[in-house]
Every structure is written in C-alpha cells, then in structure tokens.
Structure 1
C-alpha cells in the first residue's frame, strides 16, 4: 500500500519537476555555458527566484522519495512469496501410520 502511494507521489513529482525546469528562463546558450563561462548554474547571485527555489525543493523531494522507494523495494525483494505462504499456513506434516510391533515369544 505504501509503495503504491510513494510510486504515485514519484510520478507527480517528476511531472512537476519537468514543468518547473521548462518554465525557467535560460540564462546561457545551452551546454556551451558550462565550458568556462563565469556564470554559475543559477546565475551570479545564486537561486534568487521563486522558481529556482521551488525547483531545488522539488528535486530534493524527488531524490528523497527515490531513496525511500529503493529501500522499500529492496526490503520487499528479500522476502519470497513461498516464505509468506509457509508462514501463513498451519498445515502439519503428514504422519506415517505405525504398525504395532509383533510380540515374539522368546520362552519357547
């Protein structure tokens, strides 16, 4: 139940994050901006705009949710369906019928 809810939250966060990134104004000329210009990722003054701060917050929530989902899925992968079935059933092992031992008469 909780993994399904976290997966839905993950999808919503991805959609919001993509929209937030696409709405931001481009401060440089694409990938050439990282080759040696004086601009930082968010400009010279840092992330001052609301959209940049919102993008950072949504990105942080996305990473946190990804780590949580990874932990929960790895924890679930360690258990097996067969283990759950065996734990939930209370079937006793079948017993073999015992034959009465023949009495031997050793006094003959």
Structure 2
C-alpha cells in the first residue's frame, strides 16, 4: 500500500519536474544559481529565480522519494533473482527411453 502511494507520487513528481525544467529560460546559469548567487525568490529577474528554486525543491523531493522507494522495495524482497536461478539450474537431463540398435556386422550397404 505504501509503495503504491509512493510510486504514484514519484510519477507525479517526474511530470512536475519535467514541466518546471522546460519552463525555465535556456540562457540561465542552471544549477550554478545555487552556489552563492544573490538571486532572491521574487528579485530583479522575476519568476526565473522562483522557477529555479522550485525545480531544486522538486528535485530534492524526487531524490528523497526514490531513496524511500528503494528502501521499501529492498526490505520487502526476501529472495533474489539469483537465488531463483540457482534453484532451477539443478534440472536432471531426460533419459532416452528408446534403445539404439546397431546394424549387424554381416550387413554391408549396397554401393553399386
């Protein structure tokens, strides 16, 4: 139940993140804005800074949700795919049921 809810939230976050990235100007400095820039939420550059901060927040939520999903899926899995492969490799080959009859020594094939 919890993993289903988090998976739906993950899909919604992906759609919102893609839209937020596509709405930004391509001439902005991108992620460099978070390394000491003096932009504010509604500063002189208008909504560009707001979109950049929103994108950062949605990206953080996306990564957090991904880690939570990974933890929940790994804790519910009791066996590995490799464990299932090892169990199925111990298959016995089938035994032939019809005997093979060798030709008699006195019979020679006609070559003429």
What is the TM-score when the length of structure 2 is the normalising length? 0.54
**Cα distance in 2 for residues equivalent to 1:58 and 1:47:** 19
Given the superposition, is the C-alpha separation of residues 6 and 27 from structure 1 closer, same or farther in structure 2, using an over 3 Å criterion? same
For structure 2, the residue ranges without an aligned partner over 5 or more in a row are 41-48, 81-112
What is the TM-score when the length of structure 1 is the normalising length? 0.56
- Alignment: residue pair count: 71
Offset of 1:46 from its aligned partner?
A: 5.6
> Cα RMSD between the aligned structures?
2.7
Q: Which has the higher contact order (CA 8 A, sep 6+)?
A: 1
> 2:16 corresponds to which residue?
16
Given the superposition, is the C-alpha separation of residues 71 and 10 from structure 1 closer, same or farther in structure 2, using an over 3 Å criterion? same
Runs of 4+ in 1 over 3 A off after TM superposition: none
For structure 1, the residue ranges without an aligned partner over 5 or more in a row are 34-38, 81-108
